[in-house]
Amino acid sequence: MLIAIENEHIKATFATKGAELQSVSGVHSSTEYLWSGDPKFWGKFSPVLFPIVGALKDNTYFYQGQAYTLPRHGFARDMEFDYRQVSEHEILFTLRHNEETLKIYPFEFRLNLRYRIFGASLCCTYEVHNPATKELLFSVGAHPAFAAPLNQQGCYSDYSLQFNKDQELVYHHIVANLISDQTSVLALHDGKLDLKHELFYDDALVLKQLQSDEITLMNSKNYNGLTFKFEGFPYFGIWAAKDADFVCLEPWCGIADAMDSNQQLATKEGIQQLAPQGNWERTWKVTFF
């Protein structure tokens, strides 16, 4: 089921499955800013990563001596969320634990995704509540894919990412979906990374020391683009499917297992710990122009 909210500047459309953002377009320009979801390359738009980010070693983790299996990026992206339209410009999606989730993830939880539009901006807030009497262990991540080129005008190499606080990117290599200790450095030119498809031929650029909290997707042919702002996310991924015309900007509170992971959830790198009856939230915002 699809639901839309709209103001005088932008229209945003969401699916109840996965609480996934499906489209953001300009009301007057009709510019579509999100990737088309072409299954030939990658059939998603902006999946929600929960309760893990990335892959587990052998798709398995251990908790209190028991083994559990979870797919890459967890299960939330494939589940139906409840929803409530809070106002004309705000919608709230909710996912709760159930008998099936408890079999593979032995935690009670409530996950909210709160989307709000104001002006030419879309704001996404993740809200996690722990209703249980024991600690909740989880990760959350974003995975929005933005079109490049916009409106199929121009080409991928017309586009670049402008970082507000970095002059180089130190990224970890991915081997068989796991994080390697091997790193490489991408030099930025005045904070700018020119996009080219081969950047992502070996999977995502996984950043553990990103200083920037604002990234602008711009192009050399016209003024259209977007500015992506995020805060409180210790990890960041940049990715595109091979030769696909999009770029994913992915703030994460969590990360895939390292190649030498001991697979223990309680000590997993990036795992979030939420006390009983506790609340947790993080927000990212994107402004379109």
Instruction: Give residue 286's pLDDT band: very low, low, confident or very high (50, 70, 90).
Output: very high
pLDDT tens across 8-28, in order?
999 999 999 999 999 999 999
- pTM of structure: 0.96
pLDDT tens across 38-86, in order?
999 999 999 999 999 999 999 999 999 999 999 999 999 999 999 999 9
Give the DSSP per-residue string, the chain: -EEEEE-SSEEEEEETBTTEEEEEEETTT--B-B----TTT---SS--BBS-SSPPGGGEEEETTEEEE--TTBSGGGSBPEEEEEETTEEEEEEE--HHHHHHS----EEEEEEEEETTEEEEEEEEE--SSS-EEE-EE---EEESSGGG-S-GGGEEEEESS-SEEEEEEEETTEEEEEEEEEE-BTTEEE--GGGGTTS-EEESS---SEEEEEESSSS--EEEEEES-SEEEEE--TT-SEEEEEEEES-PPBTT---BGGG-TT-EEE-TT-EEEEEEEEEE-
Instruction: Give residue 221's pLDDT band: very low, low, confident or very high (50, 70, 90).
Output: confident
Domains of the chain, first to last? 2-153+233-288 (2.70.98.10)
